[in-house]
Amino acid sequence: MSDCLFCRIAAGPHDAGVLHSSDRVVAFRDVNPQAPTHLLLIPREHVASVADLTGSHDGVLAEVFEVIRSLAERESLDTGYRVVTNVGVDAGQSVDHLHFHLLGGRALGWPPG
Ligand code: 5GP
Ligand code: ZN
């Protein structure tokens, strides 16, 4: 999907904003951070959103959450963090390549807007 922004980011070249890159998962800093730590984790494979996940994605999802755990530790998010994935227009999904936001470094309000 050469017209997909996150497929292009996954393909590289990677700059300093990329914190993790494996065969299956890439993690990088959000260009417009909403918290002191605001990272995005994506599968390399183009999947539009969690609505398109199947059992074949079990492995990549497990890796996403392993990487979340290790990056939260690396970013010293000792007092908590939030993992968010938006699906569709009502949720404000603006990039149609599955991504998980990892937000932390400040108290996060609830409910979200
Ligand atoms: P969504 O609104 O789809 O849940 O999240 C998309 C996120 O991608 C937004 O937080 C936005 O700031 C981020 N984003 C959009 N374009 C780029 C980009 O070119 N590079 C990076 N690092 N983040 C981006
Ligand atoms: Zn894509």
Provide the CATH number for the domain around residue 17.
Answer: 3.30.428.10
Question: Which protein residues are within 6 Å of ligand 1, measured from CB?
Answer: 5, 17, 28-32, 40, 86, 92-95
113 inside domain: no
Could you tell me the sign of the dihedral formed by the alpha carbons of 29, 31, 37, 40, in that order?
negative
Supply the pLDDT for residue 16: 87
Per-residue pLDDT of the chain (113 residues; tens, 9 = 90+): 579 999 999 999 989 899 999 999 999 999 999 999 999 999 999 999 999 999 999 999 999 999 999 999 999 999 999 999 999 999 999 999 999 999 999 999 999 98
Tokens, residue 57: 């994605």
111 inside domain: no
Q: Which of 20, 97, 99, 101 is catalytic?
A: 99
Is 99 annotated as catalytic?
A: yes
Instruction: From the CA of 92, give the closest atom in ligand 1.
Output: 2
110 inside domain: no
- Residue 69 half-sphere exposure toward CB, CA atoms < 13 A: 5
57 inside domain: yes
- Total structural domains within the chain: 1
64 inside domain: yes
98 inside domain: yes
Tokens, residue 19: 């914190």
- Between the CA of 10 and the centroid of ligand 2 the distance, in Å, is 8
- Between the CA of 107 and the centroid of ligand 2 the distance, in Å, is 31
In one letter, which amino acid is 48? A
Tokens 């908590």 appear where? 80
44 inside domain: yes
In one letter, which amino acid is 105? G
Supply the pLDDT for residue 1: 58
| Whole-angstrom distance, CA of residue 86 vs CA of residue 49 | 8
112 inside domain: no
For 45, the domain range is: 5-104
Q: Which of 6, 28, 40 to mutate to test the pocket of ligand 1 (most atoms within 8 A of CB)?
A: 40
